[in-house]
């Protein structure tokens, strides 16, 4: 009680889908590492799935100030929460607002499980930004509440501008051939954002569509919270962040969370909070491939493919004659496993490797990865940027259209790049390498200039390959 009672006590409450939960768990872990007490309020269903992966649970058991609590999402057990489409997200949203909200309130009342026993009272809450009902409950209890949105700043800004998009006649989109017209209603993005790049909810012909309405109204309510937290960084989304700040001054761009976490953990690459079992055999397969020879293909945790799309993509990959590592989640394809043409199976045997779920952050950091065919989910986008892997974007829905346009059009300036240039003798190289590693641990990108001779020395005597792998160090060989 004593050591816990001196530190702030934060309640974190994510919307119960994989992308939101795993991202907010990263935030929770970073807070724990900074000595903050955290209670993570998970839906029963998500928590049950998380418990299957003992490495996640045992990682969090290291933090004495951390605990999980659970709450019902209000849906019947047989509701198909996974394989989510816009409508199913709306089902979860409606049920949480109706059933979970009163439970959440009870839990926060004196004597409720979030406000009793050996723990100090909750001093602030960080709630998912698409659950604005938490603002009302927290205000009633006198607790400051910060909203966390898992989307990019650009996507949030596009959502925020929806009323303007309607006022300026951008929405509803009337004709298909309008799609390449630039939007007029999103200040700061008029030069590159086309109607087709707006979040997919904006394609609703009928503006009374529930998904469209939910996202619009939740975003408009953000300013009622004490602040907004985004998993992005200033150098990447400076202009969108500046626009949002005019309306929501308490805006915190604290990303990329996974990179901050990696630099703080002693075993940096095991920061995954996956709700699926990772198939690590693909790492051995990657070890056998040539440098930058493999295209990694993954469409995240929710996108569903039709059988036609699967086959078309498969032909594309096999005919590209490139090696590929492809994540095909169970039940993510309609008519899964039926009559796959023999030439595709043969092509995959030669150059491909398929898994149901990969340790994605590790995969992207692997030297044999040369590109990422992605659905442009925001977490995948950030992970690819940090690993410096070029992306081919195939946006599917929700925020993915905005993200992919941004990656195509906006120049990314990565965090400051430091060049370490040691003299070409053995000992300074070794010491300078220690310095480079320290800089990397502080989140900087480092280029290390070497002669071929000193490079060989480093590899032979100091086992640098395994030390280098986790960091964004670029080795540059000098003549
Ligand atoms: N991911 C993973 N293994 C996979 C596929 C995805 O660990 O085989 C992780 C990925 O690293 C990312 C998340 O799942 O952190 C997907 O999030 P994103 O925002 O990219 O897409 P969403 O799932 O929300 O559509």
pLDDT at 128 over 80: yes
Helix (H) or strand (E) holding 43: strand 37-43
* Model confidence band, residue 302 (pLDDT cutoffs 50, 70, 90): confident
Whole-model pTM? Answer: 0.83
Average pLDDT over residues 417-431: 70
Q: Which residues are catalytic?
A: 20, 128
Give dist(CA 221, CA 128) in Å, integer: 12
CB of 327 within 6 A of ligand 1: the answer is yes
CA of 258 to the centre of ligand 1 (A): 12
Mean pLDDT of 20-43: 94
For residue 477, report the distance from its CA to the centre of ligand 1, in Å: 34
How many A from CA of 122 to the centre of ligand 1? 31
More confident position, 475 or 33 = 33
Q: Cβ of 367: how many Cβ atoms within 10 Å?
A: 16
What is the per-residue pLDDT for 413? 47
Reply yes or no on whether the pLDDT at 459 is more than 70.
no
Tokens of 310: 């699967």
pLDDT of residue 87: 65
What pLDDT is attached to residue 397? 85
Higher pLDDT, 305 or 28: 28
- How far apart, in Å, do the first and last CA atoms of the chain sit? 61
Higher pLDDT, 326 or 211: 326
Q: Which two tokens stand for residue 77?
A: 């057990």
Locate 321 and state its tokens.
């004659």
Whether residue 146 is predicted with pLDDT greater than 90 in this model: the reply is: yes
Regarding predicted confidence, which is higher, 97 or 263?
Answer: 97
CA 453 to ligand 1 centroid distance, Å: 40
| 358 CA closest ligand 1 atom index | 8
Average pLDDT estimate for 95-106: 95
Placement of tokens 């898992």 in the chain: 150
Whole-number pLDDT of residue 266: 66
User: Which contiguous run of DSSP H or E holds residue 236?
Assistant: helix 234-247
Is 433 close to ligand 1, i.e. is its CB under 6 Å away? no
> What is the percent of the chain where pLDDT is above 90?
54
The finding on whether 302 has its CB within 6 A of some atom of ligand 1 is: yes
User: Which residue owns the Cα nearest ligand 1 atom 7?
Assistant: 360
In this predicted structure, the answer to whether residue 269 has a pLDDT above a threshold of 50 is no
The finding on whether 298 has its CB within 6 A of some atom of ligand 1 is yes
Query: Is the model's pLDDT at 153 over the cut of 50?
Result: yes
Distance CA 301, CA 274 (A): 10
């Amino acid at each position: 009680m004593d050591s816990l009672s001196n530190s702030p006590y934060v309640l974190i409450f994510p919307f119960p889908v994989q992308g939101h939960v795993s991202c907010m768990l990263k935030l929770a872990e970073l807070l724990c590492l900074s000595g903050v007490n955290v209670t993570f309020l998970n839906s029963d269903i998500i928590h049950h799935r998380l418990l299957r992966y003992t490495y996640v649970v045992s990682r969090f058991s290291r933090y004495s100030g951390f605990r999980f609590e659970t709450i019902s999402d209000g849906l019947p057990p047989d509701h198909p929460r996974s394989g989510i489409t816009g409508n199913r997200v709306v089902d979860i949203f409606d049920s949480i607002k109706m059933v979970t909200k009163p439970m959440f309130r009870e839990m926060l009342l004196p004597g409720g499980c979030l406000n009793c026993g050996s723990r100090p009272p909750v001093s602030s809450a960080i709630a998912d930004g698409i659950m604005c009902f938490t603002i009302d409950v927290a205000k009633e209890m006198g607790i400051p509440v910060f909203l966390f949105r898992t989307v990019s700043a650009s996507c949030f800004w596009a959502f925020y501008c929806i009323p303007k998009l309607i006022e300026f006649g951008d929405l509803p989109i009337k004709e298909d051939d309008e799609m390449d017209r630039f939007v007029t209603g999103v200040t700061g993005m008029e030069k590159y954002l086309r109607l087709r790049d707006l979040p997919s909810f904006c394609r609703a012909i009928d503006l009374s569509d529930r998904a469209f309405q939910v996202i619009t109204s939740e975003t408009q309510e953000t300013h009622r919270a004490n602040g907004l937290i985004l998993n992005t960084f200033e150098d990447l989304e400076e202009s969108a962040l500046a626009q949002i700040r005019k309306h929501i001054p308490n805006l915190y761009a604290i990303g990329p969370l996974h990179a901050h976490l990696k630099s703080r953990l002693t075993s940096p690459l095991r920061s995954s909070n996956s709700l699926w079992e990772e198939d690590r055999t693909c790492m051995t397969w990657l070890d056998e491939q040539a440098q930058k020879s493999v295209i990694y293909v993954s469409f995240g945790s929710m996108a569903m493919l039709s059988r036609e799309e699967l086959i078309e993509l498969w032909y594309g990959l096999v005919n590209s004659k490139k090696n590929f590592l492809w994540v095909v989640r169970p039940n993510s394809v309609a008519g899964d496993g039926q009559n796959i043409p023999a030439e595709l199976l043969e092509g995959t045997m030669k150059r491909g490797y398929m898994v149901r779920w990969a340790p994605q952050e590790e995969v992207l950091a692997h030297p044999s990865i040369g590109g990422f065919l992605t659905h442009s989910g925001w977490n995948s986008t950030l992970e690819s940027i940090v690993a410096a892997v070029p992306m081919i974007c195939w946006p599917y829905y929700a925020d993915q259209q905005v993200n992919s346009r941004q990656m195509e059009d906006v120049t990314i300036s990565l965090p400051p790049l430091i060049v370490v240039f040691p003299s070409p003798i053995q000992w300074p190289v070794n010491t300078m390498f220690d310095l480079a590693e320290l800089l990397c641990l502080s989140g900087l990108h480092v280029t290390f200039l070497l002669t071929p001779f000193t490079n060989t020395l480093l590899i032979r005597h100091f086992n640098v390959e395994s030390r280098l792998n986790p960091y964004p160090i670029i080795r540059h060989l000098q003549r």
